[in-house]
Amino acid sequence: MENKSKKPRGGILLRLLSFIALVVGAYTIYKIWQFRSMGGSIPKYIYLAIFLIVVFYLLILFCVTRKLKKQRKQDKNLKKKGLYTILVIYIIVGVVAILLSRYVYNYAGSFNKEYIEYSSSLITLKEKNCKKITDVNDYTIGILSNKNSEDGYIIPKNMIKKYKLEDENEIKEYDSYQEMMSDLYSKKLDAMFITTNYAPIFSSIEGYEDIGDKTKIIKTQTQKFKKSETSKREVSSRGKSVKEPFTILLMGVDSTEEGLTKNTVANGDSLILITFNPKTLNATMLSIPRDSYVPIACWSGKPENKITHAAAYGTDCMMSTIENYFDVKIDYYAKINFKGLVQLVNAMGGIDVDVPKDLCTDDSSRGGEVCIKEGHQHLDGEGALVLSRNRKQLVNGDLGRGENQQLVIKAMIEKIKSIKSSSQFLKILDTISNNFDSNFTTDQILSFYSIAEDLMNNDLATKSDLVNIQQLYLQGSGQMIYDERARMVLWNYIPVEASRKDIIKAMKTNLGQVDHDVVKEFSFSIDEEYEKTVIGKGPYNTGASYRLVPDFTGRTKEQAQALANQYGIRVTFEGSSGTVVEQSVPTSKRIDKLSGSITLTLSKKTADEEKKETSNTENKEKEKTTTETTDSEEQTTGSDKEKENTNTEKDDNKETSNSEENKEE
Amino acid sequence: MKLKKSVKRKIVIFFVIVLSIVAIYIYLNCFDKKKKIKSTITSEIKSYGYVVKDTQNDAYKKEFKNLEKILNTKKIDEDEYVKSISKLFIIDFYSLDDKLAKTDIGGKDFVHELELEDFLEKAQDTLYKYVENNLYGERKQTLPIVTSVEVGKVKNVEYEYKDKKDENAYQVEVTWTYKENTAEGYQTKATLYFVHEDKKLFLVELKK
């Protein structure tokens, strides 16, 4: 009886330890397996480690089974100390391996964030006497209608439920933040839900420059979402081989804060679309101007608007907009903020760039000014940030900034040549992991480095570029257009269709989706400098502009009708005489977006009466300010002529303006 | 107590099966069947900086030996020297098949230092633009292979470049052929210009 009671005790412990060893061994294999596609000889060690784990476990299992059999048959307590020790050592080694692999993998893969924090705020105008959420009573509150928007709908809905806002207030749904903000400013709305990061996004839009001073946050709520659940982009890129051509969208995030774990959406200022063909090592690079007037994919009806306005609707919206417009699928994205760029360039030991002109901008913390000099320079992180950010000192503004950003990227690619090993490459990535986010997996990033490493090992990129970059340029012209959502006239960059087509062709060619023309002849001369061609720059015969509703005000009925006929617009008049004092459709609205006719309201006075009235008023004013006597009739005629000229000029300017003076800063 | 024979047999069979599976898996996944191609220098003419690599084609290797002979003599026959480097340049530059990647541009040993950067950039953008990477020996592209080069007229000319003048520069006319079905429509003739720099001759111009 005594023996019987002792037997199972030893057996249970042995079985339990074996089971723990099995679990630990399996989990160790799983953790080690995650490193399989790393470069160099790492995969071989991984397979060897897995092999040893399996073999050792099988040996242990064999010994345990034998001991247990012996114990059962001999009916006595056998010595099992040695076996216990082996099992405990096996488990300890397994646990250490798990912890170690977890540490290394997190270190290597921290730039692909698993969770992202979305933050939504209930905001109102500063003048409103509302300090906390319980003060929100009898308000009309705006919320986005898009049910998939984390910060525009999901979090706001939770807040509405939590604080019972629906009971005392009216909740009004909107298609866009712009419309909502416009209604908040015009006091049609009392408060609205918006992404907490709204100030930097809106402050770059004309009319909202002082949004930070004009509005206040009543309540903010943050919520963590698994990135793979909120974005289809996270899942689609997984498992994709980087040996096949792919596209990547680089987005600069206008944020001086440390960290990119929040949904810090890029404000669309820095958008660079790259295609890369790992077979031919060819790349195309396109800087997309922030004011590009393109269809916004996530808005109902996909209306055209500035591409930068898509930024407030998240990375997916921005990527879909670009995909639709340039007819390519974007496989990967990478976001980096100010600090990230500074850290990356510093970790690389600086970059060598030909700076086009002297530039000065705030540093990455907006704490002081950093200046860089024209000419060939070795730039540190802050210097590279100045070159990437500054547009106000450039003649061609945002377009020039895009070109400078490409210079920085090219210089960084060249700098990869100086990285000696994949571990050094990972270390560099680790320094920016907090300020960099991407849907690349660790394996994919390491694969790129592996190609570069093989090229360098063969001395194939010492004197030539590591990657051959074809620069693309979206040609276009500026035009002031009435924005339905923002309800104001804004400066837009209207791309030339032929330029867009050339860009699409170049990208598809590089991606291997269309056939390429093979160059079969070559010539060169030491006295002829070689200049790379830029695709998309033209020259193109066709311009790019929309026909816009002219300003009818101040014109007589006949003049207004003639102008309407000239533009092919149907107009109806309210009133029978006088000049146009109001038009039902705002000036500079796109004519192709008109439905029905425009109603023009006429003043009841005749044109002559108006002229007289104007001249009388002017005369009176003049009499007040000057002692000189003037011929009132002459002045009236002159003033009228001037008015007409101004009107005509105004219309012309709106049609053809391509100056950037009026554009948003 | 000894295990029964049948139990022992089962354990052994179990071990064999498991180890076989593991071994097959390791063979299939662990050992990189793609062999990375690494080019190594097999011969060089040190005082001139000319090299030949194991990945370069036979025509180049053969002509390189000829160049070694020419340059190893006490009194170098410059006409022979210029003819040989003309051949080597054409073979190396226009044979794309033995290149490991588009950055592996042939003939750069013979191009003037002042022109090299532009030359490489232009070659990458034109003739070499679509040469696929063959670092792992997986390329399936058909690419030109130069099999023979004929040197025509060799003339001494005056050549001015970058504020310099060489009164005894060389103008060399060359024609060449490719391996059949590898280079339809590809260039087959050119005029090359070489100038003196120290004891070396450098290519400064290539006219179609």
Per residue in A305-333, pLDDT (tens digit) is 999 888 777 788 889 999 999 999 998 88
Chain A residues touching residue B113 (CB < 8 angstroms):
none
Shortest Cα distance from A51 to chain B (angstroms)?
A: 7
State residue A585's pLDDT score.
92
State residue A41's pLDDT score.
57
CA–CA separation, A664 vs A662, rounded Å? 7
- Residue A198 CB partners (closer than 8 Å, separation 6+): A121, A123, A177, A211, A312
State residue A45's pLDDT score.
73
Q: Chain A within 8 Å of B186 (Cβ-Cβ)? A: yes
Q: Chain B within 8 Å of A468 (Cβ-Cβ)? A: yes
Contact A470, A284 (CB under 8 A): yes
* Cis ω for the linkage preceding A539 (within 30 of 0): yes
pLDDT classification of B34: cutoffs 50, 70, 90: low
Whole-number Cα distances in Å, A390 to A258, A354, A396, A665: 21, 15, 11, 11
State residue A659's pLDDT score.
35
Shortest Cα distance from A517 to chain B (angstroms)?
A: 9
State residue A439's pLDDT score.
80
Strand, coil or helix: what is A578? coil
Q: For chain A, what is the total number of helices (H) and then of strands (E)? A: 20, 23
- What tokens were used for A651? 């219309």
Contact A71, A78 (CB under 8 A): yes
Interchain contact, A522 vs B208, CB within 8 Å: yes
pLDDT digits (tens, 9 = 90+) for A223-271: 888 766 666 665 555 556 667 899 999 888 776 666 665 555 556 668 9
Chain A residues touching residue B116 (CB < 8 angstroms):
463
Strand, coil or helix: what is A542? coil
Nearest to B22 among A51, A455, A523 (CB): A51
Whole-number Cα distances in Å, A469 to A406, A411, A412, A500: 10, 11, 13, 18
Nearest to B120 among A47, A464, A529 (CB): A464
Chain B residues touching residue A55 (CB < 8 angstroms):
19, 22
Q: Chain B within 8 Å of A61 (Cβ-Cβ)? A: no
Chain A residues touching residue B35 (CB < 8 angstroms):
none
- Give the global pTM: 0.75
Q: What is the ipTM of this complex?
A: 0.84
| DSSP conformation class of A157 | H
Collect the ranges in chain A with pLDDT lower than 70: 1-10, 34-44, 72-80, 103-114, 227-242, 255-269, 422, 442-443, 458-464, 542, 605-665
Shortest Cα distance from B71 to chain A (angstroms)?
A: 26
Interchain contact, B114 vs A457, CB within 8 Å: no
Contact A461, A455 (CB under 8 A): yes
Q: Chain B within 8 Å of A376 (Cβ-Cβ)? A: no
Q: Among residues 121-160 of chain B, which lie with CB inside 8 Å of chain A?
A: 121-127, 129-133, 135
Nearest to B103 among A279, A461, A518 (CB): A461
Nearest to A519 among B117, B126, B133 (CB): B126
Contacts 24+ apart (CB under 8 A), A365-368: A365/A256, A366/A256
Bridge partners (DSSP) listed for residue A480:
A491
Q: Chain A within 8 Å of B40 (Cβ-Cβ)? A: no
Contact A489, A306 (CB under 8 A): no
State residue A283's pLDDT score.
92
Interchain contact, A521 vs B186, CB within 8 Å: yes
pLDDT classification of B41: cutoffs 50, 70, 90: confident
CA–CA separation, A520 vs B185, rounded Å? 7
Q: Which residues of A19-39 are buried (b: 16+ CB within 10 A; e: fewer)?
A: ebbbebbeebbebbebbebbb
